[in-house]
Amino acid sequence: MEDLVDLRPTVEPEEVLPDIDAHEYLVGVYRGLIQPNGSRLKAAIAALPFERPERAVVATTTPEVPAERFQKALSETAKLINSRPTQVIPPPPVIDVSLEPLPDHSAPFAQNTKHRFRRF
């Protein structure tokens, strides 16, 4: 019976915890410096986005006026479009339809006598 591993959660000392934030607590847990406590672990995970927000993209600004930047982009696009080789597509051949006979539409329309809703 001495060989069994104790699965009961260990309690970390109370004097260590007030000095650290949620991120430092989680770092201590995964590095093995702090024994995890279920409720404190869940609380640290929930508090992490509020104590240390994720890094965000910071917009860089230039001294150029947006209208100047737009005109510069348009000119660069025009250079790219004008540098492409042009391809001329020949028009389709003209078909003379006067030589073909017109179909005869004087006969009545065909009727479906085997309609699926008909009883007999």
d(CA 4, CA 2): 6
Who wins on pLDDT, 56 or 101?
Answer: 56
How does residue 4 score in pLDDT terms, banded at 50, 70 and 90?
low
Kindly state the greatest CA–CA separation across the chain: 105
Task: Summarize pLDDT for 18-72 with one digit per residue, the tens.
Answer: 788 889 989 988 898 888 888 889 999 999 989 888 888 877 777 778 888 899 9
Query: Which whole number is the average pLDDT over 68-89?
Result: 89
Spatial neighbors of 38 by CB under 8 A, at least 6 apart, are: 9
Give me the helix-helix angle, 38-51 and 22-31, nearest 10°. Answer: 130
d(CA 46, CA 59): 29
What is residue 61's predicted lDDT score, i.e. its pLDDT?
75
Residue 1 has pLDDT above 50, yes or no: no
What is residue 115's predicted lDDT score, i.e. its pLDDT?
66
Query: Which whole number is the average pLDDT over 75-80?
Result: 92
How far out from the chain centre does Cα 46 lie?
25
d(CA 75, CA 86): 19
Task: Flag whether the pTM goes above 0.75.
Answer: no
CA distances to 29, 33, 49, 100 from 54, in Å: 20, 24, 7, 74
3-class DSSP assignment, residue 46: helix
Domain spans in the chain, listed from the N-terminal domain onward: 17-51
